């Protein structure tokens, strides 16, 4: 009897092993099927990102097309700012800041004065109109009213930026600080999807920037500071003075960016090292 029972128990174990293997096989099959689904979805997502990359490239080309139209207006603006062109009456046909403001006249005048002072632009009734040529320090005052740029501008930069005549690139009139007439900075974009991290794609990135060499006049370089250190020689009491150049915070460091290692998300406005 014991042999019979033993044989029966063996048969039960065989059934359990068989059903367990079947369940495991079914589970593996479902897992593999779900894995295939995920792969198919990722492939579809990758295709949509390829479309996005094409969109951003065409968008850039469209911006370049309209940039030419903008430039005509910017050139007219430059002529007014620099005093090369005196706008006619029809060119000035635009409401003054106080024309549509309700309230007491004195309050309106005070409000306009406050706005002018905040912007850094002041007007004066004294002097002849012929003495006024353009808008002095227009771009310096404009840049100072942009918080991001204002943080970059140091006290020793101010006198230099007073000579700005345009900001499509940095254009100067007769400049006592450096000999360059034009300061430029070029950006290199990448529109392609990364093979290593394709699903991190969020649009074009600035991968590299190239500034320009500024030809500073002697003693006028505001991007470096000279530090003198007195060193004592090991033998005897003799001393020597060493002059060392260290980088100084300045707006003009903008034109000396690292040539490699820049990753700038154009849409998120973030820089990654």
161-182 pLDDT, tens per residue? Answer: 988 888 765 556 666 888 988 8
CA distance 13 to 226: 88
Strand pairing of 270-272 and 263-265? antiparallel
Task: Output the six-digit token pair for 96.
Answer: 């003054």
pLDDT (tens digit per residue) in 215-261: 999 989 999 888 888 777 776 677 778 888 888 899 999 888 665 54
Longest dimension (CA), the chain: 129
CA distance 165 to 185: 17
Amino acid 271: pLDDT:
40
Q: At 266, is the secondary structure helix, strand, or coil? A: coil
In the chain the beta strands, taken as DSSP E runs, fall at: 164-166, 170-172, 182-183, 186-190, 205-210, 224-232, 239-247, 263-265, 270-272
- Neighbouring CB atoms inside 10 A of 251's CB total 21
pLDDT (tens digit per residue) in 67-115: 888 989 999 999 999 889 999 989 888 887 665 544 555 655 555 555 5
CA distance 227 to 247: 11
**Across the chain, what does the average pLDDT equal?**
76
Q: Are 228 and 241 in contact (CB under 8 A)?
A: yes
CA 8 → CA 16, 18, 20, 79, 111, distances in Å? 13, 16, 19, 105, 101
């Amino acid at each position: 009897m014991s042999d019979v029972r033993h044989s029966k128990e063996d048969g039960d174990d065989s059934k359990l092993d068989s059903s367990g293997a079947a369940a495991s096989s079914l589970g593996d099959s479902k897992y593999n099927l779900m894995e295939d689904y995920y792969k198919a979805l990722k492939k579809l997502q990758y295709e949509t990102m390829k479309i996005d990359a094409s969109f951003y490239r065409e968008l850039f080309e469209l911006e370049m097309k309209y940039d030419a139209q903008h430039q005509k207006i910017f050139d007219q603006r430059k002529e007014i700012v620099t005093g090369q062109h005196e706008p006619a009456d029809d060119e000035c046909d635009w409401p003054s800041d106080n024309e549509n403001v309700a309230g007491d006249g004195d309050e309106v005048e005070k409000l306009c004065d406050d706005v002018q002072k905040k912007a850094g632009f002041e007007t004066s009734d004294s002097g002849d109109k012929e003495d006024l040529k353009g808008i002095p320090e227009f771009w310096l005052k404009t840049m100072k009213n942009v918080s991001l740029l204002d943080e970059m501008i140091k006290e020793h930069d101010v006198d230099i930026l007073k000579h700005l005549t345009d900001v499509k690139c940095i254009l100067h009139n007769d400049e006592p600080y450096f000999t360059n007439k034009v300061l430029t900075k070029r950006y290199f974009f990448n529109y392609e999807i990364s093979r290593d991290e394709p699903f991190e794609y969020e649009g074009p990135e600035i991968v590299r920037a190239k500034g320009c060499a500024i030809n500073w006049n002697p003693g006028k370089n505001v991007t470096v500071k000279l530090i003198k250190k007195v060193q004592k020689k090991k033998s005897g009491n003799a001393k020597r003075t060493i002059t060392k150049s260290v980088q100084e915070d300045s707006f003009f460091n903008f034109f000396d960016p690292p040539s490699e290692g820049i990753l700038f998300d154009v849409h998120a406005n973030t820089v990654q090292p």
